[in-house]
Structure 1
Amino acid sequence: MDTVDVVVVRAGVVGLAIGRRLALDGLDVIVVEAEDDIGTQTSSRNSEVIHAGIYYPRGSHMASACVRGRDLLYRYCEDRGVAHQRIGKLIVATSSAQLPELARISVRARGNGVDDLKVLYETELHDLEPDVHGVAGLLSPSTGIVDAHSLMRSLRRDLEEAGGSVAVCSRLTGGSVRQSPVVDVNDSTVACRWVINCAGLGAWDVARSLQGFPAEHVPPRHLAKGNYFRQASGTAPFGRLVYPIPIEGGLGIHLTLDLDGRARFGPDVEWIDDLDPHAAPYAVDPQRADLFAAEIRQYWPELADDALVPDYAGVRPKLSGPGEPARDFLLQGPADHGVAGLINMFGIESPGLTSCLALADDVAATVTANPLR
């Protein structure tokens, strides 16, 4: 039987950040990944935005982790040469009816410690981005973009240089947390002192597969598919990201730019029942282009007809479903579920990428507060 200090389940950006942090702390860490490469699910199917911390309820884990994580991530990318850009973004009210919500967003952001937002009125908005239609907006200078794949490769490199390891094609199939944790990975059994379940979409299945974990601590899971479209040709005439007023379940169909200046639009919110690999869950329905175009034209009226083609899609693991209030990140440690040596992470959706280094610090604090047996 193999023995390590920590098994981290899945090598998304959060799992790699946690593995890196614990390895730097001197623990013997292995990150197990079921797929044949790192970051193939949620971490590689998002907008690659470094969020400022604007939208989340004051006092929430999302808010604190995003603001802390944003600063940590910018410093990390600068130190490691990870491609990124502090490009800024506009949140746009396209009608006077949206002005009260824009004001609420501004107040919430200040409560979260985001103190660099600037209110733009119609003329200022037009001067900054002439092709944006809106009656007012908020400029967020701290919002940026990052090459998520380069970030994950850098985190993996740090982890391995600190003595940890990443095992791809290694699926956790079960285990027990009745005494000291034991997990089954492929055909092997691994004994450890800590299991960090940050399996994203699969975190619920991992928790249920661990004998001795009380089922009542597994929350409901909801899946929100987010589709993206890109321009068939040409470039969008914007120098910043452009976001509408948020909608239920997401931040609305926004315009983001990659590091080469190419525009993409999304995600929308398409609630799905399950992630069936036989049903091509990441396929984008071209017929959604008309819906996208109608939403985009509210802030960019000059979008050409037939300008959009399908790009890619991702699925967000959510703790709240349609019509329900948004829920916070859920990090369960021994103090929450009563099981020694286990941390579960549920509902790590946006701003999970931005928050990855802060979440790693939070996990490390829990591990430190509960010394290895």
Structure 2
Amino acid sequence: MTAYRPIQARIHLNALRNNLKVVKTFAPKSKVLAIIKSNGYGHGAERVARELAEADGYGVASIDEAIFLRQKGFLHPIVILEGLFSEAELDLAIQHRLEFAVHNWEQLNWLKTSHVTTPLTIWLKLDTGMHRLGFDERDMERVLTAIDRLPMSIHLNLMSHFASADTSDDFTQKQLSIFNRVAQTLNCPKSLANSAGVQRYPQSHFDWVRPGIMLYGACATDEMVPGLQPAMTLASEITSLKWIEAGETVGYGQTWRAERRSLVAVVAAGYGDGYPRCAPAGTPVLIHGQRLPMAGRVSMDMLTVDVTDMADHVALGDEVILWGQGLPVDVIAQACGTIGYELLCDVTQRVPRVEVKD
């Protein structure tokens, strides 16, 4: 018998499938490119791809993520959202029947000088104002001419990316206007909406939507979306209980001081598991359905919780939910000044992923 630390990330398979259905209710006329980069936002890329098999395609960040899915037997269209990082990747992309973004002149030149004659599907990236990747609107005529002159047949898709669809309506409308100006000159499939766009801007849905975080049941905007379910519950157990007197401190740096005689629970979870070290005292955990505040700093392998208010109802081995069902990851992210995306992706490999159907 092998023993493990009690922390685990429970992956709710039904939630993944449910959340895809929610996406389709928002954008019923669009195809869905399910974004499963960064190991499926920490949930496991193969697992997520399997549960999201009813998506029309998968979006990944790099060719190694795409090849991994091909080697696992997935036949869906797979789009490399950052495009090719080197000319040498082109042959691999063709070998594995991959689609990819083209967002700069160097990538276009790789195609121009290539020996390849195989038809390719490329996703032409337009910079509508995020100023991260993509061609400027003023260069699009020249770009399209260069694509027409490539030595291989090209199936073209037009794409761009929202910078702040979760918060800024004015800037998002500006991006939409730029995209529409270019899109109306092209007779090809188009894609713009990320999760926030799916939820807030139906006019951005076009032919393909590209949901990411909402597939995992976390928030893309400040608004909770009815029907979405958390796909990961990070849970552990109480491993120690200790009474301390008023005025005594807990943890590194003595940053938390008891204002009364207090019962402190030690939980087997820490930043070595991906729980954020920056989580301040007061960040909630869930024990027996009740939110209780963390006390003191997060350690590598442990964190401490003030459980005084339910001292008569806690015991060693009690489950502690760090986020997930009953405690949205976005609540923890807000306490830490970050976003749910980061917390989900940061769960380390030493934390076992346990599949559950519920």
Alignment TM-score, normalising by the size of structure 1:
0.24
Alignment TM-score, normalising by the size of structure 2:
0.25
Higher relative contact order (CA 8 A, sep 6+): 1
* Higher CA-based Rg: 2
